[in-house]
Amino acid sequence: MSTYALTPKRVLRSEWHKLWTLRSTWITLLTACTLTLGIGLLMGATYETGGGDGDVDVVVLTLIGVQFAQIAFAVLGILVTAGEYSTGMIRASMTTVPRRLPVLWSKAAVFGAVTLAITLTTAFVTFPAAQLFFAGTDQEASLGDPGVTRALLGSSAGLTLLGLIALGLGALMRSVPGAIGAFIGGVMILPEVIGMLPYDIAADAARYFPTKALESLMSATAVPGAASPGGALIALTLWAVATLALAGATLKRRDV
C-alpha cells in the first residue's frame, strides 16, 4: 500500500484536525458547557421549596441551560459542513476524497463523538454540582434515583442527534445563515406551531419532532402527552439518519 494511500482512518484524522484547529469549535463548545453548568448552578442557588417549581422534573430543571446549548451545538454542526463551503475549503476536501461520501460520514462521526463526550461530561458534572444547592429542598435527588441517570444519558444522546441533524442541514443548504434559519424554523419552531393545531393527529406527530423528543429524553419522570424515552430516541435517530442520508444523496449529485 502506498504511504499516501487514502484510507477511512486518514479521512477521519483529517476531519478531526479540521474540527479542533478551528477557533469556533473551542468557542462554541465552551459556550455550550458554560451555559449548561452556569444556569444549572444558578437554578440550584436560587431555588426555594414552595416557590412554584416543585413539580418540574429535577433533571429538566437542572439542565434547563440545554435549551440554549442546543443552539450552540447546532451552529457548530452547521459550521462543520456549510462552513467549508463558505471558505472554499470544500473543493480541497472533495479533490482529496473524490468519492465524497466518506468526507460527510467522517465529519458526522467526529462531530458526533466529540459532542457526545462533551455533553455527557457536562451533564454528569452539572447535576451533582447543582444538587449541592438543591440539598434539603423538594428537588433533592441523586444519580441513583429512578430515571435520573437515564435522563442525563438521554439529554446527551438527544443533543448529539440534534447536532447531527444540523450538520446534515449544513451539507444540504451549503450556507451557514440558510442552515441556521432552517434549523431554527424547521426544527425548533415548526413543532410548536404543529402542536397548537386543533387536531389530535397534529399533537401526536409533534411529540416525535426533534426538540420535543429531546424534552422527553431528558426528563427523569414521564411527561404527559409526550413520547416515551425509547420512542423519542428512535424518532431522533431516524431524523438524524434521514437528514444525513438526504445530504449524502445531494452531495453525490451536485457539483461542489
Position 177 pLDDT exceeds 80: yes
- Do 63 and 123 touch, CB atoms closer than 8 A? yes
Arithmetic mean of pLDDT, 83-89: 85
Query: Cell triple for residue 59?
Result: 433533571
Report pLDDT for 223: 83
What is the Cα–Cα distance from 219 to 227, expressed in whole angstroms? 11
Rounded to an integer, the average pLDDT of 126-141 is: 94
Mean pLDDT within 90-103: 82
Query: What percentage of the chain reaches a pLDDT higher than 70?
Result: 97
- Residue type at position 176: V
Mean pLDDT of 22-43: 93
Ramachandran bin of 147, using left for φ above 0, alpha for ψ from -120 to 50, beta for the remaining angles: left
Residues 159 and 230 sit within 8 Å (Cβ to Cβ): no
Domain residue limits, the chain:
8-253
For residue 184, pLDDT over 80 is answered with yes
Average pLDDT, the chain: 91
CA distances from 131 to 40, 58, 63, 154, 215 (A): 9, 10, 12, 19, 21
How large is the average pLDDT for residues 166-171?
96
* pLDDT category of residue 105 using cuts at 50, 70 and 90: very high
What pTM did the predictor assign?
Answer: 0.93
pLDDT of residue 4: 59
Cβ–Cβ under 8 Å, residues 167 and 77: yes
What digits encode the pLDDT tens for the residues 136-155?
898 999 999 999 999 999 99
Q: What is the DSSP letter of 223?
A: P
